[in-house]
Structure 1
Amino acid sequence: MAVTRADVARRAGTSPALVSYVLNGGPRKVAPATEERILLAIKELGYRPNAVARSLRMARGHSLGLILPDSSNPYFALLARAVEEVAYRHGYPLLVGNAADTSEREIGYLHAFVDRQVEGILVIPTAEDEVLEEEFAKVGVPLVVLDRSLDDAAFANVVAASVDGSRDAVRHLIEHGHTKIACLSGPAVSVSEERVAGFQQALADAGLEPGRVLSRPFGGSAGYDALPALLEGPEPPTALFVTSDLAAMGLLRAAFDLGLDVPRDLAVVSFDGIEYAAYTRPGLTTVSQPITQMAEVATQLLIDALGGGSIPPGTRVLPTELVRRGSCGCSDEFAGAIAKVDATGEGVVP
């Protein structure tokens, strides 16, 4: 037989109402000694509140929503997992919607989450336009923008330092002796624009002419298809800065198929820091975003506002780190390298 709130009250020598106050954090304060007895009784009896019934009584869903632009992109999948870890730690189930890179679907999930009475929403916008911003502004629940920069007078944004990280990446290519550097950028969202700005700043700081920029969607196939266009012209680049790891991975395959040696014929540096970047051949030098920290800051901002507070607008910018691997010309040592057995099957080739 399931343990009830009344059972907890009897064990603690108090009333079911006080048990409710302890479980719900109010509306009345409970004396510390009484609260301690109630918590002990809950533990001894193994009582688990009915979350659905509790949510109905409190007129809210006791859950958070997260809307991703593309759930198949490994970077967004990592970010979603990091957000879920923080939400779970605080006792909030996380509902996830995949916008599939369309504003209409993104707005549909926004409305669906509100209809299901989620307590707060994190969103990575598919685009940055007035229609979406108007929808976000009138949503009626706390909302935090993640991995994008909307109007920081109206929204709370949590992002990585895209300009600084990109500038560091391109400076690194210049340190390797490259002066002909082009950029493969993503779609027209703030992070792409900021990474292109960092790319151009690094070239200007080195006294170089502005670099060529080619914009394509995020994704491996886009990176693969873009390489021939990037190499067109009488003086093709000797190095490329790519604004996403997934596009860079597709580009590496294209380089192989074209008979190019990376990094001897073409050096490549990208941006994101997904796990799979370590497993390409050569390993992909990339600007690693602080995914766990971004998720922590954004989700905590949201949770702190759920008690009736507000989220101060503004953009929280978190630092990045350049991870050096073989695609830029650095050493390509891999910590997980598998030892090779020699031809006799007896020795190990280092």
Structure 2
Amino acid sequence: MTRADVAAAAGTSVAVVSYVVNNGPRPVSAATRTRVLEAIELTGYRPDVVARALAGGFTHTFGLLVPDVSNRFFAELAHQVEEHVYASGHLILLADSADDPVRERELMNALMERRVDGIMLASVDADPDLSGAIAGGTPVVLLDRIAPSALTSSVVPDNIGGARAATEHLIEHGRRRIGFIAGPAALPTSQDRAAGWESALAAAGLERGPLVEAPFSRAGGLEAGRRLLTGPDRPDAMFASNDQQAVGLLRAAHDLGVRVPQDLGVITFDGSQDAAFAIPSLSSVVQPLAEIAEHAVRLLLARPHVTARVTTGHTLALRASCGCPDGPTAP
């Protein structure tokens, strides 16, 4: 059905139907408006939202591109982004790069081809190529990465401060040989969390514990845990770079008969529900997902477009894995 069909059913011109559908630019009498609305219901006409949006220069959609939507952290982040995007009257297109930089670039191009009004990107690349988006005028907000260009915004957690606070807490429990499961070495996130861990150890006069690099996954944490917990100089505490790794570490400890927290204190970074529901429940540096989503959406909504670099804070959720009394299940 077209507007011409609605106009014929209502006994008006196509222009009048357009005024009713778009609520302007010219006024329409109440009686005529009622006839047009009844004709729309009768014919089943639906406005072409995409065509109308393109004519106005905006599609009222944003893209969100993450490395792995099955990762609980990114799933919870996507939920918070959706909440803020929905509240703004927009829609979100969610894409998963599967930790593949080639696929990430292809999905970036696909989102731009669909004329999204902006893209939120949690990149798998330390220095993602954003030249196409910049040249095309598509605003990009990097999540968990510092923007490489002044033309791009970023919203990042305090990775160094959070990692330092987590390691300091293990030290407060009397742990002296604290190991670290790092993420991929090329990523700034991994580098910053390693820097925070090392800073806390140095400030306490402790030697640097063992470090194993691993993917941000349960399998990565499992393999790293097996390597770290079978050596002759086993650590008495571990800081994992994310919750997925920490869950894998718990499995390795269980398989090897290492008790958590009696033999091994554990703390992690992110604060997803995986941490709260693990056994034992995981102490964690909690990222403020609602705040991250709010900043990212606000930056994309700004007209005219502005760029900014936002660093969010963090809190510590202290649970059984580090030796603290276990709190409520909900994070």
Say which is worse superposed, 185-194 or 148-157, in terms of deviation. 148-157
The alpha carbon displacement at 1:240 in A equals 0.3
The alpha carbon displacement at 1:128 in A equals 1.5
Q: Contact 1:103 / 1:126 at 8 angstroms: preserved in 2?
A: yes
Normalising by structure 1, report the TM-score: 0.81
Match of residue 90 from structure 1: 88
Match of residue 78 from structure 1: 76
Match of residue 318 from structure 1: 312
Q: Secondary structure of 2:306's partner?
A: coil
Distance 1:274 1:53, change over 3 A: same
- Per-residue deviation, residues 185-236 of structure 1 (Å, max 9, x unmatched): 1123222211111111111111222333211111001101111222354422
Match of residue 127 from structure 1: 125
One-letter amino acid matched to 1:79: L
The alpha carbon displacement at 1:135 in A equals 4.2
Q: Secondary structure of 1:178's partner?
A: coil
Match of residue 256 from structure 1: 254
1:60-71 equivalence runs, <5 A? 60-71=58-69
The alpha carbon displacement at 1:53 in A equals 3.3
CA distance in 2, matches of 1:316, 1:69: 21
Match of residue 177 from structure 2: 180
Q: Secondary structure of 2:129's partner?
A: helix
Q: Secondary structure of 2:154's partner?
A: strand
Q: Contact 1:5 / 1:19 at 8 angstroms: preserved in 2?
A: no
Q: Contact 1:149 / 1:191 at 8 angstroms: preserved in 2?
A: no
Aligned residues with identical type, % of pairs: 38
The alpha carbon displacement at 1:5 in A equals 9.1
Match of residue 155 from structure 2: 158
CA distance in 2, matches of 1:335, 1:310: 41
CA distance in 2, matches of 1:278, 1:120: 33
Say which is worse superposed, 261-270 or 58-67, in terms of deviation. 58-67
One-letter amino acid matched to 2:306: I
1:213 aligns with 2:211: yes
Structure 1 gap segments, 5+ residues each: 337-350
One-letter amino acid matched to 2:148: D
Distance 1:234 1:74, change over 3 A: same
Structure 2 gap segments, 5+ residues each: none
1:11-26 equivalence runs, <5 A? none
1:296 aligns with 2:294: yes
How many residues align structurally? 317
CA distance in 2, matches of 1:155, 1:205: 35
CA distance in 1, matches of 2:152, 2:315: 26
Match of residue 330 from structure 1: 324
Match of residue 167 from structure 2: 170
CA distance in 2, matches of 1:334, 1:133: 42
Match of residue 104 from structure 1: 102
CA distance in 2, matches of 1:185, 1:5: 62
CA distance in 1, matches of 2:164, 2:295: 24
Normalising by structure 2, report the TM-score: 0.85
- Per-residue deviation, residues 49-89 of structure 1 (Å, max 9, x unmatched): 54133124335433111111111111111111111111111
Match of residue 342 from structure 1: none
1:55 aligns with 2:53: yes
